[in-house]
Chain A
Amino acid sequence: MTPPLIKPKPRNPVRALRRPTLPPPARSRAALRLTAAAAEGRFELQHCCDCGTVQYPPRSACVTCLSTHLEWRETDGVGELIADTVLHHSNELYYRERVPLRLGMVRLAAGPSLLAHVHGDCGSAPTPVRLRAHLDKSGQAVLMALPSQDTTNMADDPMLREMTSDPKFRKVLVTDGKSAVGQAIARAMIDAGAEIVWAGVAEPWKQAGGLDALAKLPQIEQVTLDVTDEKSVRDLAGVIGGKVDILINTAEFHRAHGVADRGTETAHAEMEMNYLGLLRLAQAFGPAMQARAAEGSVPATAWVNLLSIYALSALPSHGTFSASKAAAFALSQNLRAEMRHAGIRVVNVFPGPIDDEWNQLLPPPKLAPAALAGAIVKALREGVEDVYPGDVAQDIVRRFRESAKVLERELWDQ
């Protein structure tokens, strides 16, 4: 029975801060497809297109018929734990700090045998299990065997917690806590058990609906934060940067503007907030978060960027906005490469049009702020790093992967 996670005691300031260590990150090119699927919460294995063999570890040619037509497909994780062990010793620094560790061999119903982490609530072998792929602290896929049915406090298993970013007991910064989306996310974090949610507000003198009600919640702390102002970002980081466990960047400037319109100032404002704002936040908050990524049982764990599905392929009517989100997307990949040294998960969220004033003229379906917030909480709990919430986002990413050029043409008519 997994014991429930208890609220951590404050860190003893006299003791050295535990530095982040990482599990082995090296993978072959073929194996990185496992990571690519786990990044979106899927468990995929290679299926041979010619003979159907499901195989693992990842190969370059089919183990049965030598075909090189191996396709990665979502695979059922149903299997049997046929042998298990508890590791008491590891030569790997990361694991040395985390023994004793359960490992096991799972024979999938689909065929292959896979070495996996074993959740504490799984019985001893032989026992039925579910296999899932998760991104570990190095950002690479590993397998975990879970009990066939969910158990109480299942999410609190220590190894599973290493690979997820549950908001429970965490301190969260929502960079724009005033917008409808920011308020919805702040509420959702509190409902998910966050201890503090700092709600950033850029212009405190400008009133927004709902903020007063939100401010009444005991976990909320309103802070001044203007991501277009380097001093504002640095000042806030100086005060709370050493405490933020999850940073959710919701600060966004959004207009329906493009090359057919006049002037560069709208585009400039979008870039200043959506792209350079991210850069300022990363520079000011990144180092402290990384330093605390291995502290105690509830360390700093995730950085969430609210991007847009149109970062992948621009919506012409919102062309400059799309460009600023594309710039932020590229920068977030830079951020992810940096944060991997500390094991902080950078989560990119690519919603379609949100149901707010700037998307008024776009037809439904549009994503309600509460639904977006729910998707973010889910992604944090599941340890997923690329999120496409809502029907439009799912549709567009599918089209983008089939043919980016065809999608470009289809967006002409939006």
Chain B
Amino acid sequence: MRGAETLSELAGALAGGGVRVVDLSQTLSPRFPQIVLPPEFDQCAPFRMAEISRYDERGPAWYWNNLSFGEHTGTHFDAPIHWITGRDLPNNATDTLPAASFVAPACVIDCAAESARDADFLLTADHLRAWEGRHGKIPPRAWVLMRSDWSKRTDPVAYQNFDETGQHTPGPDARAVRFLVEERDVLGFGTETIGTDAGQAAHFRPPYPCHTVMHGAGRCGLQCLANLDLLPPTGSVVIAAPLKILRGSGSPVRALALVSE
């Protein structure tokens, strides 16, 4: 009964004001930056569109495209099966994760100023505790999203931010990730950058701590998010559902947030 009322109120708020839908996704286009691994490894496919027909001799009354992309192209969701630490966990793929994982409250940690000063900024457990001091304890099964305003870097070169020592983008450190998993039981971690881990995470201990620890604990990831600056620190509900791909390791998503007006 309460549930029915809540949903009915939500429908009303969405239609008539009170609850706004914020689009947290980048546009999927061939120009959107793609994760690049060292050349000795195989690469994630970039997003490509090929017209099948456009109201022409190939199909007179219709327009449609064939797409090709990787599971980790554009704004996308990472399932635990994506990382070796999560490979054997039950219900660890995009088709087996419970659907409840795809709708969850979000805590948004504002690191925009720090990230502007230092592209390699690392979010620490101390930062998180300080944030909790201001906004309350992070609830269980919530997304923790790291706002860096990185999505405002519309120039792909600035977005990738590579130099001869590799990529330089902000992310969490290992202790922060362990804190979120072991002491706050989060659903997962989300970023505006091209990975949930910082650009230099290959050199951390363990390497790629967010992937290693989060997925090893059956948690998820969201990457290339946009508009986190439009979200309050707490109170929004994020809807991010990967495509139901057979044994999928992730997929591009239309990430949305329900936000109070």
Contact = CB atoms under 8 A, between A and B. Distances in A.
Q: Do A and B bind each other?
A: yes
B52 A265 contact: yes
Interface string B46-58: 0000111100111
Interface in B153-198: none
Interface string A266-303: 00100000000000000000000000000000000000
B6 interface: no
A264 interface: yes
B66 A265 contact: yes
Contact of B57 (A262, A265, A268): A262
A363 interface: no
Interface string A245-278: 0000000000000000011110010000000000
Contacts of A265: 50-52, 58, 66
A230 to B, nearest CB: 13
* Dominant SS among interface residues on chain A: loop
B50 A268 contact: yes
Contacts of A263: 50-53, 58
B42 to A, nearest CB: 14
A264 B65 CA distance: 11
Contacts of A268: 50, 66
A273 to B, nearest CB: 15
B66 A262 contact: no
A262 B50 contact: no
A272 B53 CA distance: 19
Nearest to B65: A265
A390 to B, nearest CB: 33
Contacts of B58: 262-263, 265
A407 to B, nearest CB: 31
B25 to A, nearest CB: 27
Contacts, number: 16
A264 B49 CA distance: 10
Nearest to A268: B50
Contacts of B53: 263
A264 B58 CA distance: 11
Nearest to A269: B66
B47 to A, nearest CB: 16
Nearest to B68: A268
A338 B58 CA distance: 40
A265 B56 CA distance: 14
A263 B57 CA distance: 11
Contacts of B66: 265, 268
Interface string B32-55: 000000000000000000111100
Nearest to B59: A263
A262 B56 contact: yes
A265 B66 CA distance: 8
B71 to A, nearest CB: 15
A147 B53 CA distance: 63
Contacts of B52: 263, 265
A57 to B, nearest CB: 46
Contacts of A262: 56-58
A284 B66 CA distance: 27
A268 B52 CA distance: 11
B56 A264 contact: no
Contacts of B51: 263, 265
A268 B53 CA distance: 14
A264 B50 contact: yes
Highest count of chain B CB atoms <10 Å: which of A263, A264, A265: A263
Interface string A366-387: 0000000000000000000000
Nearest to B247: A231
B69 to A, nearest CB: 15
Nearest to A231: B246
A265 B52 CA distance: 6
A256 to B, nearest CB: 13
A287 B57 CA distance: 44
A288 B56 CA distance: 47
Nearest to B57: A262
A265 to B, nearest CB: 5
Interface string B100-137: 00000000000000000000000000000000000000
B155 to A, nearest CB: 29
B140 to A, nearest CB: 37
A135 to B, nearest CB: 36
A262 B63 CA distance: 14
A268 B66 CA distance: 10
A263 B50 CA distance: 8
Contacts of A264: 50
B132 to A, nearest CB: 46
A268 B51 CA distance: 12
Interface string B199-230: 00000000000000000000000000000000
A274 B221 CA distance: 38
A264 B56 CA distance: 14
B102 to A, nearest CB: 26
B222 to A, nearest CB: 28
Contacts of B56: 262
Nearest to B51: A263
B172 to A, nearest CB: 35
A265 B58 CA distance: 10
Contacts of B57: 262
A265 B53 CA distance: 9
A265 B48 CA distance: 12
Interface in A181-230: none
Interface string B232-250: 0000000000000000000
The 6 closest A-B pairs by CB, nearest first: A264-B50, A265-B52, A265-B50, A263-B51, A265-B66, A263-B58
6 contacts: A262-B57, A262-B58, A263-B53, A265-B50, A265-B51, A268-B50
Given A262-B58, A264-B50, A268-B66, 11 more contacts: A262-B57, A263-B50, A263-B51, A263-B52, A263-B58, A265-B50, A265-B51, A265-B52, A265-B58, A265-B66, A268-B50
